[in-house]
Structure 1
Amino acid sequence: MTDAAPVTEGQLRTLFPGLPQSPLISRAFNHARERCPAFLFNHVARSWMFAVKLAALDSVAHDAEVLAVSTLLHDLGLTEHASGPNRFEVNGAEVARAFVREQGFDDRRAQLIWDSIALHGTPSIAAFKEPEVALCARGIGADFGTPDNDLLGVSTMTLAIAAAPRLDMKRQFTACVCHMAQTKPETTYANFIRDFGERLVPGYKAPSWVDVIANGPFAE
């Protein structure tokens, strides 16, 4: 199923009619859909569904447009459309912030988008940020497997996969991030891609803070 088309907004809303709607959300949806391979786009679509559901289950007040845009655009840094010199989360955050600026977002909402995407791979920090940032990370995490899966329940997980099939997600995502570890290792040492590099990429070696501290220019 790896050559299947990514889910459309209409297909998603048929099974998840409670998703928030606005012209901006539709533009963000299409922006990501046009730029992500099918497996990756279906992942970000499911992440949005999970984040919305978690917000409802926990009664978390939040900006629905910020959450939608953040989850839908969070993996642009894994594509050629946001391939800057930094770690992929920051590259993606920069592109997403530029996108919402063009849509008229003010400084605060644009910064929430940036923070949500830049921190989505660091949930231990995102959890203590604004609700939109925390929910974004939680929704994304649920598509990989976190304690929130139990909270969401089997029926929600099954419905999300029916709406946006996984399309060999585990293998395809692993290949995607391993390619980044191979081709841009300097951007992968401080995020989870390091784990893939050390486990699966021959010759990958990350620098260690142990060496940095031991070799620091100090007399003691």
Structure 2
Amino acid sequence: MFATDNKVLAGVSVPGTPIVDRALEYARQRCEPYLYNHVVRSWLFAARLGQLQGIEHDAEVVAVGTLLHDITLNERFAGPRRFEVEAADLASSFARDGGLDEHRAQLIWDSVALNSTPSIGLYKEAEVALCTAGICLDVIGWQYDRIPSNEIERIVAEFPRLRMKQRMTRCFCHIAEVKPELTYDNFVRDFGERFVADYKAPSAVDFVADAPFPE
């Protein structure tokens, strides 16, 4: 189950198996350079967090999940579902087409779909939790101190951030502008409320109040 053919990337030992190499190329084709660098850094951070903490995990699943978690995040996104769900379907299909069994494909689906919901993802299987942790480290600095600073510096030097904060913010604002109905129960609402004029998303309060029951 666990990958054994390893290579070293930015100082981190990671699986060098065919499906991981294909996931790297797939991400490179689908993502803008800043976003490609983000998903690679997220993978390396996830791998390193697992190694430093001695967490047994399927390294190929973590690789594919982190590398493909943002393949639908761009300023052209038009739904019809949350970008995480759209990406999860693509990633799990990629995994199945690459020969991974249903269990591993499902772990990848969960890793991608929950990548921006750490309050759930961090408490799932080790693979999902590590994907979530690596992504959160790169986006918000969560567990930043768990990895030696020289290792983080090397990873960022080899895969620069390329103004990720500003570019990712534009993507989130685009979703809030064109698909506010997809943001009512997730973090994109925060970007809509902060940056998008006349932004208004559905409210869970209204959903409860309008439920079709007599009481």
Match of 2:57 in 1: 62
Corresponding residue for residue 3 of structure 1? none
User: Are the counterparts in 2 of residues 66 and 113 from structure 1 also a CA contact under 8 Å?
Assistant: yes
1:80 deviates by 8.3
Query: Residue 85 of structure 1: SS of its match in structure 2?
Result: coil
8 A contact 2:136–2:142 mirrored in 1: no
**Which residue in 1 is equivalent to 2:112?**
117
Alignment partner, residue 158 of structure 2: 163
For 1:186, what is the secondary structure of its paired residue?
Answer: helix
Q: Determine whether 1:143 maps to 2:143.
A: no
Amino acid at match of 1:48: W
Amino acid at match of 1:120: N
Contact 2:43–2:131 under 8 Å retained in 1: yes
Q: 2:178 — aligned with what?
A: 183
Corresponding position: 1:88 with 2:86: no
- Cα deviation digits, residues 154-200 of structure 1 (max 9, x gap): 22221111010000111011011111111222222222111101111
Please give the alpha-carbon distance, in whole angstroms, between the structure 2 residues aligned to 1:82 and 1:96: 17
What CA distance in whole angstroms lies between the structure 1 residues aligned with 2:53 and 2:168? 29
Which runs of 5 or more structure 1 residues have no equivalent in the other structure? 1-11
Which residue in the other structure is 1:9 paired with?
none
Kept after mapping to 2: 8 A contact 1:16/1:49: no
After superposition, the Cα gap between the structure-2 partners of 1:81 and 1:38, relative to the gap in structure 1 and judged at 3 Å, is same
Partner Cα distance (2:117, 2:197) in 1: 25
Q: Tell whether the 8 Å contact from 2:133 to 2:142 is kept in structure 1 after alignment.
A: no
After superposition, the Cα gap between the structure-2 partners of 1:82 and 1:115, relative to the gap in structure 1 and judged at 3 Å, is farther
Q: 1:156 to 1:100 in 2, by over 3 A?
A: same
Structure 1 runs of 4+ aligned residues shifted over 3 Å read 79-84, 215-220
Q: Give 1:67-82 correspondences, 5 Å limit.
A: 67-79=62-74
Change (3 A) 1:111 1:81: farther
Q: Count residues with an aligned counterpart.
A: 209
Match of 2:23 in 1: 28
Aligned equivalent of 2:40, options 31, 34, 45: 45
Confirm or deny that 1:205 pairs with 2:197: no
TM-score by length of 2: 0.91
Structure 1 residue 100 corresponds to structure 2 residue 95: yes
Answer yes or no: is the 8 Å Cα contact 2:10–2:158 preserved in 1. yes
2-side partners of 1:80 and 1:216: how far apart?
A: 34
TM, length-normalised to structure 1 = 0.89
How far is 1:218 from its partner?
3.7
RMSD (Å) for aligned C-alpha atoms: 1.9
